[in-house]
Amino acid sequence: MRGRTVPAGSDPYVPKNGNAGLSVERYELELDYRLTTNRLSAVARLDVLATADLARFTLDLSRLQVASVRIDGERVAGYSQSTHKLTVTPQRSIDAGTRFRVAVEYSGAPRPRSSTWGPVGWEELADGVIVASQPSGASTWFPCNDVPSDKASYSIRVTTEAPYTVVCNGRLLSRTVRSGRATWLFEQEEPTATYLATVQIGRYQSIDAVWDGVPGRMVFPGAIRRRVESDLADVPRMMEVFQRAFGPYPFAGYAVVVTADVLEIPLEAQSLAIFGSNHLSGSGDWERLVAHELAHQWFGNAVGVSEWRHIWLNEGFACYAEWVWSEASGGPTADALAREHHAVLARAGGDIVLSDPGARDMFDDRVYKRGALTLHAVRLAVGDVLFFDIVRGWVSENRHSVVSTDDFRALVARSCATVPGMPASALDALLSVWLDAAALPPYPAATVTTSPSTTVDDNR
């Protein structure tokens, strides 16, 4: 595993997020939430590493009112708030390299934060809550360092009305009920980016499962149980295919939450995925997105991006996983799907600089499909066996850390360095055309024969 990356401050794509001079190593969140009034009362305890001398420091926190701040149990000299920032002045300057604990008591009516990509963060449903923070909405429910490079472990304790089910990241450690209110405690031990931390609340039923050795849980409104079971019936096989293709599932379990509400798109979070009732209709129409969200547990969650400009490493891999699943399950091969999507991009204008698409276009479909095509170009150049070795090496070397596009280039170069007839310069040129040039390259030619019928099934 790569060393833990310490964030430098803000991310250019979300310049109002992030805080210089610190890195958060753990969040312990105690949330008391009243559904009828949308009222949150909370305490957040952050274990922080000072990466610079700190006479004062900031945290991301949006519109929630702070009642007190303590550092290592001691009241601070002062604190102030703006719309999206909490500024803290300690009693004495904190030296670089010092670890300290910040405790923040706060409350208010959480609501989404506006962004270039629409509202993000904590949002009320018709009868419950969804938290969808990508890329800049974690500050709507807890004080944090909201950049993708700063991963931490989490303990999340949620108290709310007892008839409701709560789902958060990680393992459920306990559920207790007192006076009509239930307290749920979750532990996420693996390093998690702030945008992937989540709380889901609803009137749900749940079914426990085991998916290719991985503990699973389906959470859904009781009225659509048959639809959910039908549309998630392939998850065990998807898990098997992806564990063979990408390496062992990287977390302790996997949950799928289906809201009663209609959602525009499914959402990934660390160790779980969220779908709207419209996505699991019982018809299997959204099968590719079930695969896509599962694949994010490897690409985007276990292996995160150091900056948002590298988002193709999340979405390109997850999109390519859709094609891997298709060919493994008897559908069109990855090559057939790659040709189809290349033709679509060519007709529509697929120009984009994949390695730095710009904040406005970071979720553009061209990033997803051209990212997947880039991976397919590598596969055609190096062959199935080496390609999937590269993919599994990408996950194992970078598990629970963050990466950049240059890291991927370096891994491809190292993996191919000893292969006769495969000069590093040729592969670097191939990647440069796909990643750094705006114009969509021609469909890549195969230099090594692929064998899609055996690749996924025979490599574990």
Annotated binding-site residue numbers for Zn(2+):
292, 296, 315
Partner residues linked to 47 by β-bridges? 26, 101
Angle at 29 between CA 300 and CA 118, to 5 degrees: 50
For residue 289, the tally of other CB atoms under 10 A from its CB is 17
Question: Which residues make up each annotated binding site?
Answer: 292, 296, 315
Beta-strand pair 99-108/39-50 = antiparallel
Alpha carbon of residue 140 to chain centroid: 17
SS3 451: coil
What interhelical angle do 312-328 and 235-246 show, nearest 10?
120
What is the signed CA dihedral for 183, 187, 191, 197, rounded to 10 degrees?
A: -20
Can you say whether residue 310 is alpha, beta or left, with left for phi > 0 and alpha for psi between -120 and 50 degrees? alpha
Alpha carbon of residue 242 to chain centroid: 17
For residue 114, the tally of other CB atoms under 10 A from its CB is 12
Look at the block and give the residue holding tokens 């699943």. Answer: 325
Question: Phi and psi of 265, rounded to 5°?
Answer: -140, 155
